[in-house]
A and B are shown apart, each in its own frame.
Chain A
Amino acid sequence: MAEADLLGLGVAVLLAGLLARGARRLGLPSVPCYMLVGIVTGPGTPGPVLVEHPGELSLLAALGLVLLLFHLGVEFPVDQVVGGGRRLFATAGCYITLNMCAGLLLGFALGWGVPEALVVAGALGISSSAIVTKSLIELHRLTNAETPVLLGVIVIEDLFLAFYLALLSPVLSGGGGVATLVEDVARSFGFLLLLFAVARFGARAVQGLIGSQEDELLAVLTIGLVLISAGLSQEVGVSDAIGALMIGLVVSRTAVNERVERLVLPLRDVFAAVFFVTFGLTIDVADLGPVLVPVLAAVVLTVLANVSAGVVAARLFGFNQRGAANIGLTVLGRGEFSLILATLAMGAGLDHRIGPFVALYVLVLAILSPLLASKSQYLARFMPDWLLRPGWRYVREETISTSCTHLDQIRVTETDTDVCPECVEAGSEWVELRLCVTCGHVGCCDDSPLRHASGHARATGHPIIQSLEPGEDWRWCFPDETLVRAPMGARRGEDD
C-alpha cells in the first residue's frame, strides 16, 4: 500500500477551514468554500497541486457523505413536522413541485439525457438545510412569523430527499430495459419501506445494540452501525446515502439520540469538509466555462421558482409581502444535497458536465443567496397586494410577528350577528363587519363611516378584532398594531 498523502490532505483541509472562517465573517456559507479550495488545489487546475489523485480520498469522502445524511436523519424532528399540519405539507408540496419542475425543465432543455435531467432537478430543487438555518439565525429572523413555516418546509424537503434518492439510484445504476428499471425502483422503495419499518418498530433493538453508557463506545458502535446500513443499501443497489439517512431516523427514535447527535456532529463536520474538498478536487477548472450559461439559467430559474413558492406559502399562511419575500429568498441556499447528487451522478458515469455545472451553481448561489436574503425587503416592495390575501393594506411594510401580547384575551371566535347593531340603530350603512374576540361585540370596519369596531376597542380596551367577512380569517391587535396569526398547527379559534 502506498503511503497516504497526509501532507496534501492536511494542507487542503486547513486551507478549506481558513477560507471558510474568512467567509463566515462576511456571512457566506462554508460548504462552497471547502469545494472552492478543492477546485483550486486539485489536479485539474493550473498551479500547485495538493492532492494528486483525488481517488485516494474516496473512502474518506464517502464517510463524509454517509455522516452528513446520518446526522440529518438523527436530528430529523419527526413530531414537529407531523404536528405542522396540512397547510405546512401543502406549502412544502408546492415548494418542491415548483422547484423540481423548474429543474426538470432546465434538465431536459440542456439535452444531456434523462438521468442527467433528474439529477439537475434534484440539485436545483432541494435547498440546503444547513445554509438556510444558519442564515435565519444570522439575519435575526428567528422571531419572524414566517420562520416556523420556512423551517418546516426545508425539513419536509429533507424527507423528500430520501424518496428522491430511492427513485434516482436505480435510474443512475441504469442499463437494462424498462422492466429492469421498474424492478429496481420497486426494490429500492421496498428497501426504503423496510427501513421505515425498522425506524418505527426496531428502535429498541438498535438502542440495545449501540446504547453504551460510555461516549467512546457509543460513538464507535454508532459509526459501525451506520456504515453497515449504508454498505448494505449499496449492496441492494440503493444508494448508500439512503441507508445512512434511514438509520439516522432509526437512531433518532432511541433514547440515546441526543448523545449520538452530539458525538457525531464533529465527525460529520470534519468528514463532510473532506467530502466537499474531494468533490472540488475532481472538478477541472477549464470545464466551468462551458457550463456558465446553463448555470446562469439555472440560477434565474431557481430564484423565480423560490419566490413563487414564497408567495404561495404567504397566501396559504396569510403572511404579507415581507413574509413572502423572506421565504422565497431565504430558501435559495444550495449546498450539501446538490453536491451529493452530483457525486452520485459522477459515480454513475453520467455526462461529465454535471459535476462542473453543480459546482458552479452552488458557488454562484452561495454568494447570491445570503445577499438576496438580507435584502428581501426590496423585493417585498415590488410585490403587488393582489398576490397575497386581502386585508394586508394594514401592514404592508411590517413583518407580522407573534409580537401580539394579547392572545390570552381571545375568548369569542364566532357569532351569529350579521349586522352592525349600532349602525342599524343609527340608520347608517357599513362596509365590512368586525368581531371583538374578547366580548363578542360586532361592529363595522374602519372603511365604514362610523367605525364602530375600533370605537368599541378604544372604549373598552379590548385588544383584538377579527374579520367577519367570508373567506377572511385575519385578526388585528389594536395596542400592538399587528396582525395576529394562529400558532402553527393550531386550528383557527383553538389557540389559547
Chain B
Amino acid sequence: MGKGVHVTELPGVGKRYDIDLGRPDQRISVVIRSGGVRDLYVFASASADPTAVIELSEEQARKVAAVLSATFFED
C-alpha cells in the first residue's frame, strides 16, 4: 500500500487501513469487512478510543468516497 496507509489483516473480519493524516489528533481508520460493509473510525483526539464510528454500506461508502475525491462538484 502507498506511503502513509498502514494495512492490517483482521482474520475473519476483513482488512483495516490506518490512514496517516500527518497529525496525531486527527486520524482515520477504515475497516473493510469481507461482506463489503465499511466501518469508518474517526479519531479527533490523540486518544486510542475513536471519536465516532460510522458503519457504511458499499453504496454509501461509494457516495462518501466520490464526494471526498471531488467527483461531484458544482460550477
Contact among A80, A152, A400, A407 for B6, CB-based, below 8 A: A407
A400 proximity list for chain B (CB < 8 A): 48
Knowing A405-B22, A479-B24, the reply to whether A140 touches B50 (Cβ < 8 A) is: yes
- The distance from the CB of A156 to the nearest CB of chain B, in whole angstroms, is 9
In the complex, which residues 59-81 of chain A have their Cβ closer than 8 Å to any Cβ of chain B? Answer: 75, 77, 80-81
Whether the Cβ atoms of A403 and B43 lie closer than 8 Å is: yes
List CB contacts (< 8 Å) of A441-496 with chain B.
479-482, 487-489
Chain A residues in 8 Å Cβ range of B47:
398
Would you list which residues of chain A between 355 and 400 have a CB under 8 Å from chain B?
398-400
Q: Is the CB of B24 within 8 A of A152?
A: no
CB of B28 to closest CB in A, whole Å = 10
Is A401 in the interface zone, CB < 8 Å from B? yes
Known: A143-B16, A480-B24, A480-B46. A487 touches B41 (CB 8 A): no
Residues of B within 8 A of A144 (CB): 48
Q: Are B41 and A154 in contact (CB under 8 A)?
A: no
Select A133's contact among B12, B24, B43, beta carbons within 8 Å: B12
Nearest CB in chain B to that of A265: its residue:
B35
A residues in contact with B8, CB < 8 Å: 148, 402, 487-488
In the complex, are the beta carbons of B24 and A487 less than 8 A apart? Answer: no
Set of chain A residues within 8 Å of B53, measured between Cβ atoms: 140
CB distance from B47 to the nearest CB of A (A): 7
A148 to B14 Cα, complex, angstroms: 10
**In whole angstroms, how far apart are the Cα atoms of A398 and B45 in the complex?**
13
B13/A142 in contact, CB under 8 A: yes
Q: Which of A83, A137, A401, A481 contacts B9 (CB 8 A)?
A: A83
Q: Which residues of B contact A256 (CB under 8 A)?
A: none
Interface size on B, residues (CB 8 A): 30
Q: Which one, B4, B18, B21, B46, contacts A408 given CB within 8 A? A: B4
Q: Closest residue to B24 on the A side, CB-wise?
A: A480
* Chain B residues within an 8 Å CB radius of A80: 9, 11
Contact across chains for B3 and A75 when beta carbons are under 8 A apart: no
Per-position 1/0 for B19-60, Cβ under 8 A of A: 011111001010101100001010100111110010000000
Q: Is B10 an interface residue (CB 8 A)?
A: yes
* A143, A152, A398 pick with most chain B CB within 10 angstroms: A143
Report A-chain residues with C-beta under 8 Å of the C-beta of B21: 405
Complex CA gap A246/B47 in Å reads: 43
CB pair B13–A152 under 8 Å, yes or no, is no
Cβ 8 A contact of A155, one of B12, B39, B46: B12
Would B34 and A403 count as touching, CB distance under 8 A? no
Q: Complex Cα distance A53/B21, Å? A: 61
Measured between C-beta atoms, what is the minimum distance from A335 to chain B in Å? 15
Name the contact of A148 in the complex, choosing from B4, B9, B20 (C-beta under 8 A).
Answer: B9
**Nearest CB in chain A: distance from B8 CB, A:** 6
Given A142-B39, A144-B48, A488-B8, are A403 and B24 also a contact pair (CB < 8 Å)?
A: yes
B contact residues around A480 at 8 Å (CB): 24, 46
Q: B50, A405: Cβ atoms under 8 Å?
A: no
| Contact A140–B41 (Cβ < 8 Å) | yes
Interchain nearest-CB distance for B21 vs A (Å): 7
Q: Are A136 and B27 in contact (CB under 8 A)?
A: no
List residues of chain A with CB within 8 A of the CB of B9: 77, 80, 83, 148, 488-489
**A128-160 with Cβ < 8 A to chain B:** 129, 133, 136-137, 140, 142-144, 147-148, 151-152, 154-155
Q: Tell me the minimal C-beta distance from B6 to chain A in angstroms.
A: 6
Q: Is A84 an interface residue (CB 8 A)?
A: yes
Report the minimal beta-carbon distance from B4 to chain A, rounded to whole angstroms: 7
Contacts of B23 in A (CB 8 A): 405
Tell me the minimal C-beta distance from A114 to chain B in angstroms.
33
Residue among B6, B9, B27, B34 with the highest chain A CB neighbour number at 10 A: B9
CB distance from A121 to the nearest CB of B (A): 23
Chain B residues within 8 Å of A, Cβ to Cβ:
3-4, 6, 8-13, 16, 18, 20-24, 27, 29, 31, 33-34, 39, 41, 43, 46-50, 53
Q: List 13 A-B contacts (CB under 8 A).
A: A77-B9, A81-B11, A142-B10, A142-B39, A143-B50, A148-B11, A401-B48, A402-B8, A402-B18, A403-B27, A408-B20, A487-B8, A488-B8
* 9 interchain residue pairs of minimum CB distance: A480-B24, A405-B20, A399-B48, A80-B11, A401-B48, A155-B11, A140-B53, A151-B11, A80-B9
